[in-house]
């Protein structure tokens, strides 16, 4: 792959919608208007745990401008969920978290809908709430779901490789520590929103901002009791997602209102609802126990992970298992035992967030590696180098790692921050400031997760040899559209400008599971490459007759067809395309890709769990004020093995954006809960990183360890860029001032407390 001459792959192209976005011309769901449009509002519980005694909608139904009011009786199938159908569209008997919906309605304006929602009267019987995942598993704890067979334990499992006890027996040192991470809001600038229309032909059209239009379609068909063929979902321009737009939130309510009123209906969340009603990142409690020799060789790792899933299962089982599989980190360890348990509580509800479980365990693992290095009196970089995975090593599920650039990421990130030149606790010129450096490494999987996920694409060559590619993959800000166009242009041999992408419409595109799992460039690119490869062969076969040459002897490059052995014999590709269409030979194809070798034994999670793995190292230099605990990141070097960088500029943007999200989790973001209720449901009190929090110098570094399973060697980068940032910065802070912080976020106050504990 490395020797292949490439034209579009490996070049930086701007997003085709970038200018429109900057100018404010892009069409979001908020911008879609229809004649007779109605506006929705949801009546939410505003309490963590209660029985519903009575719901009185009479005043709301008579309010001015109200078109219809929904209650549970209006929902044909009132249960759904990505992993377990434990979530009601509208609650009929019980409330399990403060954002639970009790009723919904639509009216002639947003103001009328919100005013009418306040007229709904609900009589509750409050129940004891369980808000701690440890307490949730104790005997006698209040049950969130009385019918769940294992009480508040949603699911549990373990990753087992080798013999952990034998590994600990061979260790010279055993290090144990507990780490905690908090809930994190996705904080997409665009909130959840949708518009539903009941068409005269009996179909339901729903405009969404979603990563998974086909998943939304399937859930809607089930909830509404409709055939899938009668539900059409179109994913519009998205103002961010980060895992938060996987599942139905408002779509079923808008659809039911549209079907009842026969008018288009729009629903949207307020920012407060985003915090109180939508999914968040799972809070984790993680116990790490690691055995090492005096030379720094890891002999065994035992991990116990407890996840607070909140009121509903959502994507929790996948998050839990993935966290355990990635929990031992990017290290060759023969003896691993990583156990996980997911609980129900009355703390909101958690789901998919960028990083999907590996973010939390990467934090714990990499803080733990520095703790081990400190106990061994060893350089943290050297400890990691001695245990780093390499190509051909087994992953923690036992499958072979087919490409690994971890060593190169360590070398490049450490050199970028001048690792060896920065001394521990080095003073800065300001007197009260101390400087330190820290690092964190990472392994992250691409696609799969215990079962193969398909991806498909269609390709059509037009009369002028331009190319139309149709796919179910949507771009929610990660640059998927330009990436897939580059793959198509490269495969056919035409300019990028000659490729048009149609996507996100379930009535037109082939099925795709969605923009999740950092799978788009790898699996989506593979499907696009295969589909375009088929139409390319059709063109070459047509051209063979025109050239009186064998198709295998022809090439397409820069929009021209030529004979490889006699390149002067060439003609425009458009001539070939026109000849095909003139002879009624449609240049059209569809291709699907699905790996057949993916699968794991759920008793041990051994097998081939994923398509491939990416690796990264981030190194940080910080300056900490010993009097206030305040700090700033002077340098953050983020070296990521992405396989082949299809669009280097896009990759660098993903690295910088993901690092910012990781900084937010580690250093400042925290949803404050009290008795099961969110205390800071707005950006006034929930702090996300701004440009003022960015590193003084951000250094994205691309490492290309090409992956044989990927189109042109690509792996992925969207999610993993989040994961190493927080531990790298925390390790640097501890290096500077000795503050051993184990619970996130590491605010200046937390740093001061840790400094006081370290230096009583």
Structure tokens that stand for 608 in this block: 């081939």
Beta strands, E only, 142-192: 153-161, 173-181
Give residue 632's pLDDT.
97
**Residue 208 and residue 292 share a domain:** no
Last residue in a domain, options 254, 277, 300: 277
**Residue 740 and residue 625 share a domain:** yes
**Residue 251 and residue 117 share a domain:** yes
pTM of the model: 0.95
CATH number at residue 551: 3.30.365.10
pLDDT of 425 strictly over 70: no
Question: Quick one: average pLDDT of 495-508?
Answer: 95
Q: Percentage of the chain with pLDDT > 90?
A: 88
Report DSSP letters for 268-326, one per residue: E--HHHHHHHS-BPPPEEEEEEEEE-TT--EEEEEEEEEEE-BTS-TTHHHHHHHHHHH
**Residue 194 and residue 111 share a domain:** yes
Structure tokens that stand for 232 in this block: 């059409």
Q: How confident is the model at residue 3 (pLDDT cuts 50, 70, 90)?
A: low
Contact status, residue 712 vs residue 646, Cβ threshold 8 Å: yes
pLDDT of 620 strictly over 80: yes
Last residue in a domain, options 257, 277, 297: 277
Structure tokens that stand for 670 in this block: 């925290």
Phi, psi of 487 (to 5 degrees): -60, -45
Contact status, residue 274 vs residue 191, Cβ threshold 8 Å: yes
C-alpha torsion 172→177→183→184, nearest 10: -50
User: For residue 718, is it within any domain?
Assistant: yes
339-375 tens-digit pLDDT: 999 999 999 999 999 999 999 999 999 999 999 999 9
Eight-class DSSP state of 599: E
Question: Quick one: average pLDDT of 543-558?
Answer: 94
**Residue 291 and residue 217 share a domain:** no
**Residue 270 and residue 300 share a domain:** no
521-531 tens-digit pLDDT: 888 999 999 99
Euclidean distance between CA atoms 105 and 107, whole angstroms? 7
What's the whole-number average pLDDT of the chain? 94
Strand order of the β-sheet with 121-126 is: 94-95, 50-56, 121-126
**Residue 321 and residue 214 share a domain:** no
pLDDT of 429 strictly over 90: no
The boundaries of the domain holding residue 725 are: 285-398+409-438+613-758
Last residue in a domain, options 224, 258, 277: 277
pLDDT of 424 strictly over 90: no
Residue 754's H or E segment, with its range, is helix 748-758
User: For residue 605, is it within any domain?
Assistant: no
pLDDT of 336 strictly over 70: yes
**Residue 642 and residue 626 share a domain:** yes
User: For residue 445, is it within any domain?
Assistant: no
What sections of 552-697 are H helices per DSSP? Answer: 573-582, 648-667
Q: Which of 19-28, 39-48, 248-257 has the least mean pLDDT?
A: 19-28
User: For residue 193, is it within any domain?
Assistant: yes
* SS3 (DSSP) at 438: strand
Give residue 263's pLDDT.
98
Q: Percentage of the chain with pLDDT > 70?
A: 98
Report DSSP letters for 94-111, one per residue: EE-STT-EEEEEEESSHH
Give residue 447's pLDDT.
85
**Residue 254 and residue 298 share a domain:** no
pLDDT of 1 strictly over 80: no
Contact status, residue 563 vs residue 549, Cβ threshold 8 Å: yes
Contact status, residue 577 vs residue 587, Cβ threshold 8 Å: yes
Q: Which of 22-31, 423-432, 674-683, 736-745 has the least mean pLDDT?
A: 423-432
User: For residue 688, is it within any domain?
Assistant: yes
**Residue 290 and residue 264 share a domain:** no
Give residue 521's pLDDT.
87
Give residue 422's pLDDT.
55
User: Higher model confidence: residue 749 or residue 24?
Assistant: 749
**Residue 367 and residue 291 share a domain:** yes
pLDDT of 450 strictly over 70: no
210-221 tens-digit pLDDT: 999 999 999 999
User: For residue 144, is it within any domain?
Assistant: no
User: Higher model confidence: residue 578 or residue 454?
Assistant: 578
User: For residue 531, is it within any domain?
Assistant: yes
How many domains is the chain built from?
3
Q: What residues form DSSP beta bridges with 714?
A: 643
Give residue 663's pLDDT.
97
Give residue 428's pLDDT.
63
Residue 728's Cβ-side half-sphere holds a number of Cα atoms within 13 Å equal to 35
User: For residue 234, is it within any domain?
Assistant: yes
Give residue 370's pLDDT.
98
Q: Nearest CA to 401 among 453, 449, 454, 445?
A: 445
**Residue 585 and residue 640 share a domain:** no
Q: How confident is the model at residue 122 (pLDDT cuts 50, 70, 90)?
A: very high
Give residue 123's pLDDT.
98
CATH number at residue 41: 3.90.1170.50
Q: Which of 286-300, 412-426, 482-496 has the least mean pLDDT?
A: 412-426
Q: How confident is the model at residue 688 (pLDDT cuts 50, 70, 90)?
A: very high
137-193 tens-digit pLDDT: 999 999 999 999 999 999 999 999 999 999 999 999 999 999 999 999 999 999 999
């Amino acid at each position: 792959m490395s020797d292949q001459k490439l034209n579009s792959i490996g070049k930086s192209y701007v997003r085709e919608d970038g200018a429109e976005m900057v100018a404010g011309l892009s069409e979001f769901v908020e911008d879609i208007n229809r004649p007779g449009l109605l506006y929705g509002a949801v009546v939410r519980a505003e309490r963590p745990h209660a029985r519903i005694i009575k719901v009185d909608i009479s005043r709301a139904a008579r309010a001015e401008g109200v078109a219809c009011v929904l209650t549970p009786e209006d929902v044909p199938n009132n249960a759904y969920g990505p992993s377990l159908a434990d979530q009601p569209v509208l609650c009929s008997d019980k409330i399990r978290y403060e954002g639970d919906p009790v009723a919904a309605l639509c009216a002639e304006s947003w103001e009328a809908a919100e005013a009418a929602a306040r007229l709904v009267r609900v009589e509750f019987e409050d129940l004891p709430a369980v808000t701690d995942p440890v307490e949730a598993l104790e005997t006698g704890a209040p049950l969130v779901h009385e019918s769940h067979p294992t009480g508040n334990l949603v699911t549990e499992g373990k990753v087992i490789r080798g013999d952990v006890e034998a590994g600990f027996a061979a260790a010279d040192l055993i290090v144990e520590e507990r780490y905690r991470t908090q809930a994190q809001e996705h904080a997409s600038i665009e909130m959840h929103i949708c518009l539903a229309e009941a068409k005269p032909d009996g179909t339901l059209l729903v405009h969404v901002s979603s990563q998974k239009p086909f998943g939304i379609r399937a859930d809607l068909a089930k909830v509404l009791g409709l055939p899938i063929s009668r539900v059409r979902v179109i994913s519009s321009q998205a103002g961010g997602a980060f895992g938060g737009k996987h599942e139905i939130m408002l779509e079923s309510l808008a659809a039911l209102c549209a079907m009842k009123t026969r008018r288009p209906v729009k629903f949207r969340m307020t920012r407060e609802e985003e915090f109180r009603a939508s999914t968040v990142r799972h809070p984790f409690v993680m116990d790490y126990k690691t055995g090492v020799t005096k030379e720094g060789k890891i002999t065994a790792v035992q991990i116990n992970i407890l996840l607070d899933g909140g009121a509903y299962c959502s994507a929790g089982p996948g998050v839990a298992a993935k966290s355990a599989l990635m929990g031992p980190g990017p290290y060759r360890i023969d003896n691993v035992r990583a156990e996980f348990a997911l609980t129900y509580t009355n703390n909101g509800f958690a789901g998919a967030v960028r990083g999907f479980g590996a973010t939390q365990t990467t934090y714990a693992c990499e803080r733990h590696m520095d703790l081990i290095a400190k106990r061994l009196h060893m350089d943290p970089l050297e400890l990691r180098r001695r245990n780093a995975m390499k190509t051909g090593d087994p992953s923690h599920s036992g499958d072979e790692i087919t490409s690994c650039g971890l060593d190169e990421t360590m070398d490049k990130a450490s050199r970028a921050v001048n690792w060896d030149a920065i001394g521990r606790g080095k003073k800065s010129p300001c007197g009260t400031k101390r400087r330190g450096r820290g690092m964190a490494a990472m392994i992250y999987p691409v696609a799969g997760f215990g079962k193969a996920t398909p991806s498909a694409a269609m390709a059509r060559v037009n009369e002028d040899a331009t190319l139309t590619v149709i796919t179910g993959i949507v771009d929610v800000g990660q640059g998927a559209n330009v990436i897939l166009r580059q793959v198509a242009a490269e495969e056919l041999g035409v300019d990028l400008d000659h490729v048009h992408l149609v996507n996100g419409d379930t009535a037109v595109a082939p099925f795709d599971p969605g923009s999740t799992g950092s799978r788009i460039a790898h699996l989506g690119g593979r499907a696009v490459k295969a589909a375009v490869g088929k139409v390319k062969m059709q063109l070459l076969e047509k051209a063979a007759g025109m050239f009186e040459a064998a198709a295998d002897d022809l090439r397409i490059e820069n929009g021209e067809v030529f004979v490889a052995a006699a390149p002067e014999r060439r003609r425009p590709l458009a001539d070939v395309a026109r000849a095909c269409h003139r002879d009624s030979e449609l240049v059209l194809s569809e291709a699907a890709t699905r790996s057949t070798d993916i699968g794991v034994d759920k008793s041990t999670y051994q097998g081939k769990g994923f398509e491939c793995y990416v690796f990264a190292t981030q190194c940080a230099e910080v300056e900490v004020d010993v009097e206030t605990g305040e700090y700033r990141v002077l340098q953050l070097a983020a070296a990521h093995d992405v396989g082949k960088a299809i669009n280097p500029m896009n990759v660098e943007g993903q690295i910088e954006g993901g690092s910012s999200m990781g900084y937010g989790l580690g250093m400042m973001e925290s949803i404050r809960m009290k008795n099961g209720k969110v205390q800071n449901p707005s950006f006034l009190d929930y702090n996300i990183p701004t440009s003022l929090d960015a590193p003084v110098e951000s250094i994205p570094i691309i490492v290309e360890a090409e992956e044989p399973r990927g189109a042109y060697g690509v792996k992925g980068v969207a999610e993993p860029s989040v994961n190493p940032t927080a531990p790298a910065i925390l390790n640097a802070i501890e290096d500077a001032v000795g503050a051993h912080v184990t619970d996130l976020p590491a605010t200046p106050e937390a740093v001061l407390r840790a400094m006081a504990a370290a230096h009583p």
